[in-house]
Structure 1
Amino acid sequence: MASSDVNTRDDRISRISSSIRVIPDFPKPGILFQDITTLLLDPTAFQDTIDLFVERYKDRNINVVAGVEARGFIFGPPIALAIGAKFVPMRKPKKLPGEVISEEYTLEYGTDKIEMHVGAVQPGERAVVVDDLIATGGTLKAAVRLLERVGVDVVECACVIELPELKGRDKLGDKSLFVLVSST
């Protein structure tokens, strides 16, 4: 893996990249699964990951860190705490109690939805959407649309890993995407 949006001379990037295990043919033949559980087992690489995101967002007046289920829940809360923002979970359907707002998006075969609590964010707040990986970009695009529908300014999407061959970045249109590691 090679770095995408961060200075490749930064030792932290090589540490993060080398801590991500690639598992061939999972969950099906032909897939090279990017396993972040090995990154989480390495406290230094995990801290480096959080630090790089915090350094990027600490002075950008971010009020909301929206984490996409499920692995965005791992990276989002420590980033939110470090920059003084609230963490908003973006969940799969029927996982949040109470009133929710949802956004449907297209999958390879069918559709899915992403939801958040009504009132979790306010018009005019500034958000970053966090997930572990961007592949085709459908989930991130839905998260951005959901936040923007209620008047939030989505400053950027942030992922640990990008699979550029799947062109997920293109689905985000003019929305900025910050990634630490690009699988090539």
Structure 2
Amino acid sequence: MALRSRRSAPRRTRGLPAAALIIGLLAAPSLAACGQGNQPAPSPGITTPASPGTASPGSGSPGAPSESTPPTTEEGTAMDADLTIVLTSAGSDARVERKLVCKDSQPADGSTVRDADAACAALTKHGEKVFFELPDRNRICTQQYGGPQQARVTGTISGREVDKQFSLTDGCKISEWNSMQALLGSRAGEA
């Protein structure tokens, strides 16, 4: 009986290293994507940059200015903005239009968003990434639904044209909305 248990033990453990290798290979892409969860990223194909060629070939980073493009507003630097925000809800005819005007990152006359100070601050902090950076093609977005709210933002930020759609149809888009909540309103539909 002792011989039988010795023979069966190696059979049970032979597949264990192969199974561990397969599990490790399957889990690696998921674990690599976890480190990107706190950074809101723009949705592919939604933003229209003012000039093609915002990323120079071989520059190593998307959105890095090439020598032929004008300098961009870096995160946290003062900027001017003149934006129209149109808020809608899928399946409804309701439409709310707001305006945001910022001069040197401070609210200016003509702003109708609820908290223009916070909206200008959000643009200064996150505007470059949300409106102008190209998204990482390898990012993975959670498949979750945040609500029927939608927004379209048009106008200019520091002289660059903006035409961007926002929605709450996956985790990446929800993260974008949250970073611009002062501009768009809460996910509950407040403007």
> So what's the TM-score if we normalise by structure 1?
0.27
- Larger RCO, structure (CA 8 Å, separation 6 or more): 2
Bigger-Rg structure (1/2): 2
> So what's the TM-score if we normalise by structure 2?
0.26
